[in-house]
Amino acid sequence: MKHIFLNLKRFDIPKELDGVNGIAPVKDWGSFIVKEIQEPLEAYRDEAVEFGVFFPEAHIVTAATAQSEDSMVKLGCQSVFRMDTSKGGNFGAFTANRTGNAMRALGCRTTIIGHCEERNDKSGILLEAGVTDKKAVNRILNQEILAAQKAGLEVLYCIGEKAEEQEEWQDILEEQLSIGLEGADKSKITIAYEPVWAIGPGKTPPDKAYITKIGAFVKDATGGMDVVYGGGLKQDNAKMLASIPEIDGGLIALTRFQGDIGFYPEEYLEIIRIYMGRQ
């Protein structure tokens, strides 16, 4: 199965508030994205590919109401809290945290957990508290994965090494996988590899050989789980990524990196066409 994930988070913030959204009013942003992409995606209904879209919770409601029946667009959320409501137990005392049950009720079917930005946030909080155990973040992410699955959500689990970890990348990725996936249903999880050391302006992305090596390593370490490239599926690397048997898709975020930086549906659809060989 191929997977094309669309990771939309801060791109809903308007430009006047220092964001990059100039394509729709904020109140219509979620519905606008869904309406723009769901009909063109019908061209791939007979293909073995799934499309996941990740929205901040403020836009999940409007995105869900814009979905057509049996839409190719699968809505998701930006991670979930490690605990949730339970019958006869906690009925929702999780102020400031989104739970899996809450996101499922809003219309989400999937969630992204362990993105490098989430890992950095949790690492910063733990360091502020004096925790130096590097495995702690992976244990917390494991709790989130288990909570998401208990709520009936599929998971995109992100792993990746930083620049200072490159020499020990195998140990880093193996630890993230073994701890993060402990006790989880692997059949409902897709792995996303993020080369954290290569993300950002002016940095050199990994080449085909490196990505192939990582894909093979993850599949071997997990017993053949699907793995997608999380360093950015773009127009200029879509054909290359589609040619790697060890990689089962990619994660799209920005579609334009110069000028009016941001996400544009027509450019997203062009990336899909290139990846699927419809050019």
Q: Would you please indicate which residues are annotated as catalytic (active-site) residues?
A: 115, 194
Q: Which of these, 1, 73, 88, lies nearest to 31 by C-alpha position?
A: 73
3-class DSSP string for 124-137: HHHHHCCCCCCCHH
Question: Which class for 165: exposed (0-12), middle (13-18), buried (19 or more C-beta within 10 A)?
Answer: middle
Residues near 213 by beta carbon (within 8 Å), at least 6 away in sequence = none
Question: Residue with structure tokens 């020990």?
Answer: 168
Neighbours of 260 (CB within 10 A): 10
In whole angstroms, give the CA distance from residue 214 to residue 13: 34
